[in-house]
Amino acid sequence: MAPPARRGFLMPTLIIVGALWGDEAKGKLVDVLAEGADYTVRFSGGNNAGHTVRLGEKVFRFHLLPTGFLRPGCTAVIGGGMVVCPKSLLHEIEEVSALAGSTGNLLVSGSAHVVMPWHERLDCLEESLRAEGIGTTRKGIGPAYEDKAGRRGIRMFDFIHPERFRTRLREILPVKNSLLKAMGGEDDLNEDAILEEYLPLAERVRPYVTDAEHHLAEAVGAGRRILFEGAQGAMLDLDYGTYPYVTSSHPTAGGACMGTGLPPTRVDAVLGVCVAYATRVGSGPFPTELDDETGERIRQAGREFGTTTGRPRRCGWLDLVALRYSAQVNGFTSLAVTRADVLSGFQEVRLCTAYDLDGERTQRFPTDTDALARAKPVYETLPGWSGDISAIRTYDALPEALRRFLARIEEFVGVPIAVVSTGADRSEVILHHPELLW
């Protein structure tokens, strides 16, 4: 049998994954790489994500929509692995469309689960009942995935059929109300009120809902260029992250297959995105966290405050032990390093290249979260760089100290750096090895 036709690209499917704890500027990266993409696809999470794209004066904030929605000619897909709040989705479609003028197409998988009002309430109550909160975004993401795994969720296919939606609601709501009450919730959710609000939302969502898996399979078969836009980060993966301080889905590369129906044999490239330092929002171990002036300096310089919740992000040095583990789990074929501009002006910069764990030195990332919490970072110190690097467009023109820093990352992780981002704008990027991407 002849191999399937490909449109002249060597690598038409590219998965972009946040390498550590999220907020790696994936939105900007996807936007840059979406030029010429036929599809951009979100595969995990929901509106807990916050992906920002800056086009000159205009700032676009995406939570549910793939950022490729900005590119006319590109089809944006919300994969079946996602959990979708219909209010948030419709609001975002309106907001982005108004600001952008024209947009691409949108397909929403009928297999995606709907985030309902009880999910948000349960998320908030659970957080308040935990001894140490996870620091969730309180968008109902965890409870929605729980219902999916418990086979009591409402899928988009159910949601857009009023009778099916009504029946599911009638089955589910009394149970949820009992649960909310048992957890200290104050008032009942009312079936009529939910129907009144959600039936019109379902009408508006219906035109987008389809069997997106088949569209994607056809696109893969035809050799179309497809970009899979990871949300969150690999260290927040339900299985491979710092459990229980994780999100309830799979932001790792494997999640792109599970969340869209992309066969693992059709993954061409996996790009891991990391910041030149490290950040984390919410609780959980973060060995290289800087709870000092340097951490504050990074937070201010990088404007490290959450896009979704506004919370200040925890900041620290780049953790190469964690990054190498992430590369191992995701199979990164290349790396993108973002916000290199933020560290500009530091006399010295650091990279964590080992941990001290219970008196022993190790370079093996502890997958037991308790052990990770005991790990003390061992650093290599490198000379810093200075000046405004945002206008630099070639790798060789970067300050030598920055190139040495990047070379050390490549060497330690064993993955080549394909992209360096030098600022927030679409134009502020160096495509050092584009051949590793598409």
| 368 burial level (CB within 10 Å; 0-12, 13-18, 19+) | exposed
Residues 43, 49: Cα–Cα separation, whole Å: 12
Q: Which residue has the tokens 């297959």?
A: 257
In the list Mg ion, ligand IMO, none, the entry touching 231 (Cβ below 5 to 8 angstroms by class) is ligand IMO
**Binding ligand IMO by CB under 6 A: which of 13, 137, 326, 333?**
137
State whether the Cα torsion 97-102-104-105 is positive or negative: positive
In the list ligand IMO, Mg ion, none, the entry touching 422 (Cβ below 5 to 8 angstroms by class) is none
Q: Binding to ligand IMO by residue 236, rule CB under 6 A?
A: yes
In the list Mg ion, ligand IMO, none, the entry touching 236 (Cβ below 5 to 8 angstroms by class) is ligand IMO
Walk across the sheet containing 209-210 and list its strands.
209-210, 105-109, 75-78, 39-42, 226-229, 13-18, 269-275, 334-338, 417-421, 429-431
| 13 burial level (CB within 10 Å; 0-12, 13-18, 19+) | buried
* Buried/exposed 259-294: b ≥16 CB within 10 Å, e otherwise: bbbbeeeebbbbbbbbbbbbbbbbbbbbbbbbeeeb
The minimum distance between CB 417 and ligand IMO, in angstroms, equals 20
Binding mask 43-82 vs ligand IMO (x if CB under 6 A, - otherwise)? -----xxxx-------------------------------
Q: Binding to ligand IMO by residue 160, rule CB under 6 A?
A: no
Interior angle at CA 365, CA 361 and CA 368, nearest 5: 105
The minimum distance between CB 14 and ligand IMO, in angstroms, equals 17
Q: Binding to Mg ion by residue 50, rule CB under 5 A?
A: yes
In the list ligand IMO, Mg ion, none, the entry touching 202 (Cβ below 5 to 8 angstroms by class) is none
**Binding ligand IMO by CB under 6 A: which of 108, 115, 134, 420?**
134
Of the pair 256, 402, the CB lying nearest ligand IMO is at 256
**Binding ligand IMO by CB under 6 A: which of 28, 119, 139, 224?**
139
Q: Binding to ligand IMO by residue 271, rule CB under 6 A?
A: no
Residues that are catalytic: 23, 51
Q: Binding to ligand IMO by residue 282, rule CB under 6 A?
A: yes
CA 377 to chain centre: 25
Q: Binding to ligand IMO by residue 23, rule CB under 6 A?
A: yes
Q: How many residues bind ligand IMO (CB under 6 A)?
A: 23
Q: Binding to ligand IMO by residue 37, rule CB under 6 A?
A: no
The minimum distance between CB 138 and ligand IMO, in angstroms, equals 7
Judged by the rule CB under 6 A, the positions of this chain that interact with ligand IMO are 18, 21-23, 48-51, 134-137, 139, 141-142, 231-233, 236, 247-248, 281-282
Judged by the rule CB under 5 A, the positions of this chain that interact with Mg ion are 23, 50, 307
